[in-house]
Amino acid sequence: MSAIKIRVIGAGVGNTDVNHLIKEHLDWADIFVGGKRFISELKCPETKEKVIIKGDVRAVLEKIRSAVKLNKNVVVISDGDPLFFGIARGIVQEFGKENVEVYPNITVAQVACARLGVPFEEMGVVSLHGKRSFHQVLSAMMDYNIIGIYTDSASGPKRIADELVKRDIKEFSMTVLEELGTDDEKITEFFDVNDVINNDFSAINFVVLKRNSPPGQKIRVGMEDEFYIHEGGLITKREVRAVSISMLELDLDSTVWDIGAGCGSVGIECAAVSRRGRIFCIERDKERVLMIKQNVQRAGAYIVEAVHGSAPECLKDLPVADRAFIGGGLSEGLSILEYLTENIK
């Protein structure tokens, strides 16, 4: 074996995989690092030090650093592929790729695809581990018909269902895959995500969302005016939208304020460009806010959020924008422009 002191080994899925690589490292390693389940199943001499990962990754990295300084060999045991939403990313960043060896294994997402008969390349995969924001799921729903979600105790099937319900997203079904690869494996499909909220699930689960109906129109810049539900002639015309969005010079992850959004047409089409960004359509008229929400659903522009309020007051509660478009509300024009001058990134 080489002089590398840190090896990260993927343990696979469930209890089907007594990993031969881990066995081969029982004598080599001085310290084993991993989740409680992996560490408790290790059959190694009592003289070996064991470190359980409890969520504080920084503390684990410091433990590894101290061990390497003492010329000790460290084995980190991870789920599946350690570089696929796994701990190896942080370890490689911290110690350098030349000092870490990674041994990948099959991932939970791949097993889920196998169980459901879904080609892996057709699934968009995101992780809610340690994250309160649901934004990346909404972003993935714009690009994929099938989304796989790594969950944790705070962001499991119930939370995902709740996020979909409160946004009135009905075109996706949910499959919850529990205890994959074990004797307790269970797979349940919910065509109505409301039914998820009243169920209990194992803490070890993976969620798959599947689109059952397409959006009313594929989202793009310059959609026909007739696509949008709007009040009379209160809509930024197609040609104006196209030119304005071009002049905003949006990035893939831009945060945009569409102020005086009306029916939300500009904000929705900004989402076609900034698909990893955050788009806020600010509108003070309650009926138009409802129109924005309807148009968001029709377009499948899930990252667009309708905000009922008046600018500039309500802007203080929103994430700072990279770009702003003012389509209305210019009765407060001077104060809005002053606020934007001081607060746009």
Condensed to tens digits (0 to 9), the pLDDT of residues 255-306 reads: 999 999 999 999 999 999 999 999 999 999 999 999 999 999 999 999 999 9
Supply the DSSP string of 97-119, one letter for each residue: GGGEEEE----HHHHHHHHHT--
Q: Do domains 6-106 and 225-343 have the same CATH topology?
A: no
Q: What is the dihedral of CA 105, 111, 117, 121, to 10 degrees?
A: -50
Q: Tell me which residue of 142, 205, 207 sits closest to 173, measured CA to CA.
A: 207
Task: Give the DSSP H/E element, type plus range, for residue 52.
Answer: strand 49-52
What are the helix and strand counts (H, E) for the chain?
11, 14
Tokens of 246: 């071009």
Note the pLDDT of residue 1. 42
Domain 225-343 class in CATH: alpha beta
Cα dihedral 90/147/132/255 (nearest 10): 90
Give the type of residue at 194. Answer: N
For residue 16, the model assigns a pLDDT of 46
Residue spans per domain, the chain: 6-106, 109-211, 225-343
Strands 205-211 and 146-150: antiparallel
Topology of domain 6-106 in CATH is: Cobalt-precorrin-4 Transmethylase; domain 1 (3.40.1010)
pLDDT at 330: 62
Q: Which of 339, 325, 237 is nearest to 281 (CA)?
A: 325
Looking at residue 131, its pLDDT comes to 85
CATH no. for 109-211: 3.30.950.10
pLDDT average per 10 residues of sequence, the chain (345 residues): 82 66 85 87 81 86 94 92 94 95 94 98 95 94 97 95 95 97 95 95 97 88 95 91 97 97 97 97 96 95 96 93 86 78 86
As given in the structure block, the two tokens for residue 275 are 């698909």
